[in-house]
Amino acid sequence: MFFKKKIYSPKGDIPTKNQDPIPETREKMSFEFKNRLQHSTDILENEIGSSGITIFSIDTLIDKTMFHQNIIEPIKDLSFHSIHDVLKHLPVGEIKLSNQMTIVVKSALEGNVIIYLEGETSVLLAKIPSKVERSLSIAENETNVIGPQIAFNESLMTNISLIRNYIKDPDLCVENFIVGSRTNISGAILYMSGIASEQMITTLRQRINEIEIDGILDSSVLLQFIEDNSLSMFPLMSLTERPDRVCDFLLKGKLAVLVEGSSLAIISPHTFMEFFQSLEDSNVNWQIGTFYRLLRLVALFFSVFLTAIYVACITFHYEVIPQTLLLTLSESRARVPFPPIIEALLLEFFLELLREAGARLPTKVGQTMGIVGGIVIGTAAVEAGFTSNILIIIIALAALGSFVTPSYKMGNVIRILRFPIIVLAGFWGFYGIMYGFCFILMHLLRQSSLGSPYLAPFYPPRFADWKDSIIRLPISFTNKRPSHTRPKNDYKYDHDKAKEKKRP
Amino acid sequence: MKVQYQPKPPFLLSTFLVIFIIHANQVGIGIHGFQRVIFMVAKQDSWISVLIAGFVTHIVVFVMIKTLQLYRSTDIYGIHHDVYGKWLGKVFNSLYILYCLWVFLIILKNYIEVLQTWVFPTIPVWLFSSSIILLVIYGVTGGVRIIVGVCFFSVALSLWMFTFIGYPLRFADIDQLLPVMESNFVSILKGAHKMTLTIIGFEILYVIYPYMEKKDKLQKYAHIGIAGTTVVYLLLMLVAIVYFSPGQLESTIWPTLSLFKIVRLPIIERTEFVALTFWLLIILPNLMLYLWAAVRGVKRTFGINTKGVLLAFTTCIFVMSLFINTRIKINRFNDFFASVAFYITFCYPLVLYALARLKKKMNVHKENMK
């Protein structure tokens, strides 16, 4: 299997220069093995009756049924002269020979049993890992109405098999890596060779290989190590729990990274606009998909700027508000004792508290949050004269807008982005808002994802890619892969041939 | 220093972006009030002045690109070095750097003045100038790609403003354009001359040229950019003439902004507040391009490439922006600048072209002698 490529390099089997040999007697081996594993209590040592074989393993990492059926059962009544004889009797798929003690210990930690025959210089390593994984479930963070519902779980093998089930192509390439000097977690880079750009694959591989850390527990942590600019607040690579979304991106020429023990795949390169696209847009009619995308853009504008515009208008530019609206506004603000900036920050802060509480609370208690937050505090705040009615509407609108974003990571950024802009609006009015906007624009222009521009396809302008960014045209118009992935193969299908076929 | 300068391939820009670079750099602060200045000289024939100014710009840009094409890939600093030699070239380069910084100061100062007059009368100058300068530094340190990116977005995101041109047309009086050609030709030309401050910005080609991907196609795109700007100016001029009565136009300092006042949307009144603050995005590329051009000049001429140069320049500009503080001072400053800028941007390229041709011929001659 591909996981073992790196560990079992053929160099380890050269007997002449063995620095770390297998001990010759059973007692020594037992001591050495236990010593290296700090005499943990879950080390198992089975002496198999007459055969002269001893089996070492870590009890908690191996599959018990397989251990009995496939290892002990076939060899318990036989006797052996050579370790190679044992090999013939074992009905286990993944068996390796090794004469290095370090490798023996390492593989014991990966769910191998060590079959040891006294007097032999090498041992057998048979892989029978216990499977600790939950069953596959429905995607809960990125829900779709139309489209497949399945989500990744925490097992790397299962996740790769999910992707392989979608893309049955020999070009789908899986490259393994191991990260973390202590956790030694395995992961895989996936891409379509022949579509994905070589240069990007090399960059990503290099970035992952250069990581030096004791442990990485989730792909979201790995992502922070391999991002182009870790100082930016914006997510420069995306995380997704949906295998179909990963496949969609793989086919566009992007790279995916999966990590053992994590249910999220990293996708790069990723553009700013793609955070506002959901796979569902391509599952529905193109008109409806376009509407969704435009809706999300408006929501983005609302959630970042609406509260700030309110603050700026009330504080500095009341001339801008039409007279009829001004009347209701002043009426509702008449009892509010605070300046608008305090009023807005207070309510935004309150909303963030609600959201955070909702996310951290157990699901059963979470439902009450809605009642407490929405009805009790909301109306009470207005009645007590803390805030104005209109601000509550605006803040609710802004909050809704930030939840519309399909990517949770981007949603977080949008919510936090509001605060500095509200403060700027409170100090400098419209000028402050524009100042914030210009800063964000320049900041976004400076970012890149795996070396490709973050604001593609707007800048650098690739007008052909606009057809599938803010809007979504019918599939027959979008046969070109996005250029920011620098694909080796530009077209999804031959456009002219497709036209010919359509003709009756 | 070397005459030739060839940036690495990742830094090259698509050639059609020059449309946005030129347009963004031309449209800036002059557009707020150019109608009045020209109207004072050319009366209802001002629009002809605008057309003439646009036409002359096309010619000058044509000559500029011809000059640049004499060399393979260089900017004005390299040409100066080649034409004038080592020491005199440095003097001319320093003058050009000073010119860039001067434009920077003019744009900054005028924008702050408009902001203070229309939106924030009480916020002090230093707050505006320091905040804008910080923003510009952030952009310029990002490099030429980011600057051109801001140019692109500045043009693309401000297109919505054109829809507002329709509003004043409801109150338009077309007869105010008549009779055509009442003013004599000299005053129309004088009007065209007054366009200088508004129409300059295309000279950035001199510096950005090496960064263009396909230099043979530059001529076409550059002219599209200029034509776009000329059309915008022409439209605004025409609207101002037909909307304002002659006396009113002569006493309105910023006619374009006054035109915004008429726009009344169901959710926004007094659109000029929005437009004026939005103008920050429109002047940003100007400021960034000129500052970048100045910093590049220092790098090319003296080989110094540090953030220190950038900081020194911006600090100087910040301090100077504090001293030009009244309407009269700003006006005199503008007028003086416009008269100098006319020679630098319109006359000098022709001279430089002649000199560069001469130099080329001399080189060929020398080689033949050998």
ipTM: 0.95
Query: For residue B149, what is the nearest residue in chain A, using CA coordinates?
Result: A459
Instruction: Give the residue from A347, A334, A422, A351 showing the smallest Cα distance to A385.
Output: A334
Instruction: Give the residue from B342, B348, B30, B352 showing the smallest Cα distance to B189.
Output: B342
**Cα-based distances in Å from A107 to A97, A132, A419:** 11, 17, 51
Q: Which helix (H) or strand (E) holds A449?
A: strand A448-449
Write down the pLDDT at residue A192: 94
Write down the pLDDT at residue A6: 46
Listed in sequence order, the residues at least 6 apart from A428 whose beta carbon sits closer than 8 Å to its beta carbon are A435, B120, B123
Query: For residue B288, what is the nearest residue in chain A, using CA coordinates?
Result: A442
Write down the pLDDT at residue A5: 44
In sequence order, the β-bridge partners of residue A266 are A239, A257
Query: pLDDT tens for residues A4-25?
Result: 444 444 454 554 567 788 888 8
Residues of chain B contacting A316 with CB distance shorter than 8 Å: 119-120
Q: Residue A470's CB: how many other CB atoms inside 10 A?
A: 16
A445–B150: do the CB atoms touch at under 8 Å?
A: yes
Provide the pLDDT confidence category of residue A503 given band limits of 50, 70 and 90. low
Quickly list DSSP for A19-58.
Answer: SSPPPSSHHHHHHHHHHHTTT-TTEEEEEETTTTEEEEEE
Q: Which helix (H) or strand (E) holds B138?
A: helix B125-140
Provide the pLDDT confidence category of residue A504 given band limits of 50, 70 and 90. low
Write down the pLDDT at residue B129: 94
Write down the pLDDT at residue A499: 75
Q: Residue A298's CB: how many other CB atoms inside 10 A?
A: 11
Mean of pLDDT over chain A: 87
d(CA A373, CA A353): 9
Write down the pLDDT at residue B358: 92
Percent above pLDDT 90 for chain A: 40
Write down the pLDDT at residue A413: 93
Write down the pLDDT at residue A265: 96
Query: pLDDT tens for residues A220-240?
Result: 999 999 999 889 999 999 999
DSSP state of B73: S
Question: Which segments within A170-217 are labelled E, that is strand?
Answer: 172-179, 185-192
Percent above pLDDT 70 for chain A: 95
Across the interface, which of A430, A431, A461 has its CB nearest the CB of B152? Answer: A461
Residues of chain A contacting B14 with CB distance shorter than 8 Å: 460-461
Across the interface, which of A317, A322, A438 has its CB nearest the CB of B135? Answer: A438
**Cα-based distances in Å from B319 to A172, A355, B125:** 61, 47, 11
Query: pLDDT tens for residues A169-222?
Result: 999 999 999 998 888 889 999 999 999 999 999 999 999 999 999 988 899 999
d(CA A406, CA A402): 9
Write down the pLDDT at residue A372: 73
B142–A445: do the CB atoms touch at under 8 Å?
A: yes
Cα torsion B95, B97, B100, B101: sign: negative
Instruction: Give the residue from B16, B25, B58 showing the smallest Cα distance to B284.
Output: B25
Q: Is A328 on the interface with B (CB under 8 A)?
A: no
Tell me the mean pLDDT in the region A240-260.
94
d(CA A297, CA B152): 19
d(CA B291, CA B132): 13
Tell me the mean pLDDT in the region A381-399.
86
Residue ranges of chain B whose CB lies within 8 Å of a chain A CB: 13-14, 17, 115, 119-120, 123, 131, 135, 138-139, 142, 145-146, 149-150, 152-153, 156, 266-270, 273-274, 277-278, 280-281, 284
| Chain centre distance of CA A267 | 7
User: Which position has the higher pLDDT, A373 or A482?
Assistant: A482
B150–A441: do the CB atoms touch at under 8 Å?
A: yes
Query: pLDDT tens for residues A73-118?
Result: 888 777 887 888 888 888 877 888 888 888 888 888 888 889 888 8
Residues A154-166: b if buried by 16+ CB within 10 A, e if exposed: bbbbbbbebbeeb
Residues of chain B contacting A461 with CB distance shorter than 8 Å: 14, 17, 152
Residues of chain B falling short of pLDDT 70: none
Which of B273, B278, B283 to substitute to test the interface with A, most A CBs within 10 Å?
A: B273
The nearest CA of chain A is from the CA of B89 a distance in Å of 34
3-state DSSP call for residue B244? coil
Across the interface, which of A319, A323, A435 has its CB nearest the CB of B280? Answer: A435
Residues of chain A contacting B146 with CB distance shorter than 8 Å: 442, 445-446
In sequence order, the β-bridge partners of residue A116 are A54
Tell me the count of A-B CB pairs closer than 8 A: 82
Provide the pLDDT confidence category of residue A361 given band limits of 50, 70 and 90. confident
In sequence order, the β-bridge partners of residue A178 are A186
| Chain centre distance of CA A68 | 37
